[in-house]
Amino acid sequence: MEYDERLALFRQTRLNPFDRGEEEDGPQGDKTPPQHEARPEVFPGTRTHSSDRTMDLGLAEDHFSRPVGSFVASDIEQLKLAIEECKKLILELPEHSERQKDNVVKLIHLRLKLQELKDPEEDEPNLRVLLEHRFSKEKSKSVKQTCDKCSTIIWGLIQTWYTCTGCYYRCHSKCMNLITKPCVRSKVSHQSEYELSICPEIGLDRQDYRCAECRAQISLRGVPSEARQCDYTGQYYCSTCHWNDTAVIPARVIHNWEFESRKVCRSSMRYLALMMSRPVLRLKEINPLLFNFVEELVEIRKLRQDILLMKPYFITCKEAMEARLLLQLQDRQHFVENDDMYSLQDLIDISTGRLSYCEVRFVCELCKEGDILFPFDSHTSVCHDCSAVFHRDCYFDNSTTCPRCARMTERKQDEEELDVKES
């Protein structure tokens, strides 16, 4: 093929994003535009090397230097052929040579262009709702994310992708219509309970040797796909639905006080993460014997009972209100509502010793001496009207009314007198 024929073929089928578009000036002083807008390097020997080499972002000139199979990538199939041709050329070139480095860069751009053609950038909506997922369009250009549907990398630089605001499911825009799994958060909202049997396996044959989620064929031998067991559900999944993520299993914690992370499928991992802080475990009904073997659990139960006794002081005590003690329990609101419901996070924190609780202290207003008092102490008495705390002996020996009640009565009378004078 003659040079003019090669050049004509290149100009007819070249990819604009990869063109050099470099114009060549005519003789000095001649301002006549060149005959061709862009003149690619057809033969390797004609290339000029410089310190700041110009990277050809399209097909390398080496593709055209081959006498057989010369082509230009103008569609997806041609791009695939160009990628294979570039890969072969890289292997043939001397190791760490400049030409090899150039072709590696060209290979990267060819692959990016191929991905762009497969997933063209369109005007995608910012919010999409599908199977109770609320997908929000992401603006991040990070390439560290992986599509939960196809298990491939999300190229944020050139691909549109979405994240579910409920369960944090991530996927390509092109994969959204292939999603079959509903949002896990809807399950958490409608059915807030755990599987309390330890790895309730039913057997791969009962699953008809198919993934429990996508129904793809699986086997223990890995043909056509490896069967991976989820320790939470006990079922088997394919490698697309089970990425060997790990999580603490509630059933093992409740029955064995075991906190070792086990492998779970993707949907179980999201469900357990969303359920982590929900107080849905009533231990005294599920496994009351646990309190006989875990001393820390007994201590926390006693502390929670004390908190319930002190709840009126959290609300009425001026110092407690100023210190906003109730806000310190906002992450464990159930601690001020009952003493028998626990979340999985509570049990994890108990096992690691991170769980603590704040104390509110009282002083006997009658003798104003002695140790700090608590309403649950055996040697204290509590006023039924204002919940003030006194030494038992001081309170019963004193014939007058409660000092706090007296102050409150006096303050109320003063306010009433002030209202009468103003009226």
Report the pLDDT value the prediction gives residue 56, as an integer from 0 to 100: 40
pLDDT band at 255 (very low <50, low <70, confident <90, very high): very high
**23 or 191, which is more confident:** 191
d(CA 391, CA 383): 11
Q: Give 173-192 pLDDT, tens digit per residue.
A: 888 888 888 888 877 877 77
Task: State the chain's mean pLDDT as an integer.
Answer: 75
**Residue 297: Cβ within 10 Å count:** 19
Pairing of strands 127-130, 133-137: antiparallel
Q: Give 405-415 pLDDT, tens digit per residue.
A: 887 787 778 77
Mean pLDDT highest for which of 15-24, 28-37, 70-79, 389-398?
389-398
pLDDT band at 206 (very low <50, low <70, confident <90, very high): very high
User: Does 359 have pLDDT greater than 80?
Assistant: no
Q: Give 368-378 pLDDT, tens digit per residue.
A: 666 666 666 66
Strand partners, 162: 137, 171
Report the pLDDT value the prediction gives residue 393, as an integer from 0 to 100: 75
d(CA 305, CA 336): 9
Q: Which residues of 323-353 are buried (b: 16+ CB within 10 A; e: fewer)?
A: eebbeeeeebebbbeebebbbbbbbeebbee
Q: Which of 266, 265, 269 is nearest to 247 (CA)?
A: 269
User: Does 172 have pLDDT greater than 70?
Assistant: yes
d(CA 239, CA 225): 7
Q: Which of 210, 365, 347 is nearest to 291 (CA)?
A: 347
d(CA 206, CA 279): 33
Q: Give 285-309 pLDDT, tens digit per residue.
A: 999 999 999 888 988 888 888 888 8
Mean pLDDT calculated for residue range 97-109: 85
Report the pLDDT value the prediction gives residue 124, as an integer from 0 to 100: 66
Mean pLDDT calculated for residue range 344-355: 87
Which alpha helices (H) appear in 245-294, and where do they start and end?
A: 250-256, 266-275, 283-286, 290-293
Mean pLDDT calculated for residue range 319-330: 71
d(CA 331, CA 328): 8
User: Does 259 have pLDDT greater than 90?
Assistant: yes
Q: Which of 22, 48, 47, 46 is nearest to 36 (CA)?
A: 22
Strand partners, 281: 342
For 392, the token pair is 């038992």
User: Does 383 have pLDDT greater than 50?
Assistant: yes
Strand partners, 134: 129
Report the pLDDT value the prediction gives residue 251, as an integer from 0 to 100: 96
User: How is 350-362 classified by DSSP, letter by letter?
Assistant: HHHT--------B
pLDDT band at 66 (very low <50, low <70, confident <90, very high): very low
For 261, the token pair is 């992370």
Q: Which of 298, 289, 301 is nearest to 256 (CA)?
A: 289
Mean pLDDT calculated for residue range 271-296: 91
Q: How many residues does the chain have?
A: 423
Q: Are 194 and 281 in contact (CB under 8 A)?
A: yes
Mean pLDDT calculated for residue range 125-142: 81
**186 or 21, which is more confident:** 186
